């Protein structure tokens, strides 16, 4: 079975197991602080267990890097890493805001740039985004590309949750000069929507994004033709460690990148 098919099946199983749980009291159950540093909620645990059970069932030889469960070695001879954010947008999922997803990626080495496959599933409706290196990015069965044309409304995704006053001051011209700034609360799904052409640029300069938040989005954005840069405007890459935190800019083209960067 191809890696992509494994990730797609795991995502479908998460969707089946959590779709009726989101927004219920049961979703919120507190399981203490997970490997990623946030409280693990019951819905996170149910979703992660779904993936781990499936990977064990098919004897997939890998190391899982889960946001809640941490590093789980499923084989002594792993083929690579499954980078798992089983629920991205946990706050939305717990409250029942219909914007949360699963994000699963496969990397052959301890590097973001070694990611070969990624799948992001919108868990509020089951819609799936996926990509494999050099094979394009897809939304359900349709190939997707970032928005290359001049848009009717310029939509600027910008994550400022928990930002310092210094960062808010730096970003202020963007808020002043652009009427359509957006932040929906699930980084992976926002990257997928950017890849589909629904936003022109998506910026997160907080230095808070974990590997699990970005892994699947990394390959989907790249395969959709998007630029993916770090805060110094170099191509984004890093190791897959639990300590790593990144800032990033996903831009549809050089023009929008230059335009927004000239503001800050």
Binding site for ligand IPD (CB under 6 A): 38, 67, 85, 88-90, 159, 161, 185-187, 208-209, 213
Alpha-helical runs (H) found in the chain = 3-18, 42-57, 90-95, 165-177, 187-195, 211-223, 254-261
Distance CA 264, CA 257 (A): 11
Q: Provide the CB-side half-sphere exposure for 84 (13 A, CA).
A: 31
- Which of the choices Ca ion, ligand IPD, none does residue 229 contact, using the CB cut-off of 5 to 8 A by kind? none
The H or E element that residue 182 is part of is strand 181-182
Cβ of residue 196: shortest distance to Ca ion, in angstroms? 19
- Which of the choices ligand IPD, Ca ion, none does residue 121 contact, using the CB cut-off of 5 to 8 A by kind? none
* Cβ-based nearer residue to Ca ion, 157 or 252: 157
* Cβ-based nearer residue to ligand IPD, 89 or 197: 89
Edge-to-edge strand list for the sheet holding 101-107: 70-73, 63-66, 81-88, 101-107, 115-122, 128-132, 137-139, 142-144
Cβ of residue 3: shortest distance to ligand IPD, in angstroms? 22
Q: Which residue is nearest to ligand IPD (CB)?
A: 187
The answer to whether 65 and 240 have CB atoms below 8 angstroms apart is yes
- Which of the choices ligand IPD, Ca ion, none does residue 161 contact, using the CB cut-off of 5 to 8 A by kind? ligand IPD
- Which of the choices Ca ion, ligand IPD, none does residue 117 contact, using the CB cut-off of 5 to 8 A by kind? none
Please give the residue ranges that form the binding site for Ca ion (CB under 5 A): 67, 85, 87-88, 213
Q: CA gyration radius for the chain?
A: 17
Cβ of residue 103: shortest distance to Ca ion, in angstroms? 7
Residue carrying structure tokens 């390959």:
219
Cβ of residue 210: shortest distance to ligand IPD, in angstroms? 6
* Cβ-based nearer residue to ligand IPD, 41 or 222: 41
């Amino acid at each position: 079975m191809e890696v992509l098919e494994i990730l797609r099946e795991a995502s479908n199983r998460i969707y089946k197991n959590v779709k009726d749980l989101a927004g219920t009291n049961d979703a919120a159950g507190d399981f203490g602080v997970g490997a990623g540093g946030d409280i693990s909620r019951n819905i996170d645990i149910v979703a992660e267990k779904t993936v781990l059970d499936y990977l064990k069932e098919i004897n997939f030889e890998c190391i899982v890097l889960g946001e809640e469960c941490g590093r789980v070695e499923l084989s002594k001879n792993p083929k690579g890493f499954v980078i798992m954010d089983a629920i991205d947008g946990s706050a939305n999922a717990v409250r029942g805001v219909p914007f949360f997803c699963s994000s699963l990626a496969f990397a052959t080495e301890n590097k973001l740039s070694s990611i070969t496959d990624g799948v992001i599933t919108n868990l509020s409706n089951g819609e799936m985004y996926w990509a494999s290196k050099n094979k394009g990015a897809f939304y359900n069965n349709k190939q997707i590309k970032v928005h290359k044309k001049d848009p009717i409304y310029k939509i600027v995704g910008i994550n400022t949750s928990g930002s310092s006053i210094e960062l808010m001051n730096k970003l202020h011209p963007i808020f002043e000069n652009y009427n359509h700034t957006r932040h929906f609360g699930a980084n992976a799904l926002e990257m997928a929507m950017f890849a589909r052409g629904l936003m022109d640029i998506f910026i997160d300069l907080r230095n808070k994004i974990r590997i699990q938040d970005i892994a699947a989005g990394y390959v989907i954005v790249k395969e959709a033709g998007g630029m993916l840069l770090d805060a110094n405007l170099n191509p984004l890459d890093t190791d897959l460690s639990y300590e790593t935190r990144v800032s990033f800019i996903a831009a549809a083209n050089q023009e929008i990148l230059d335009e927004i960067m000239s503001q800050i």
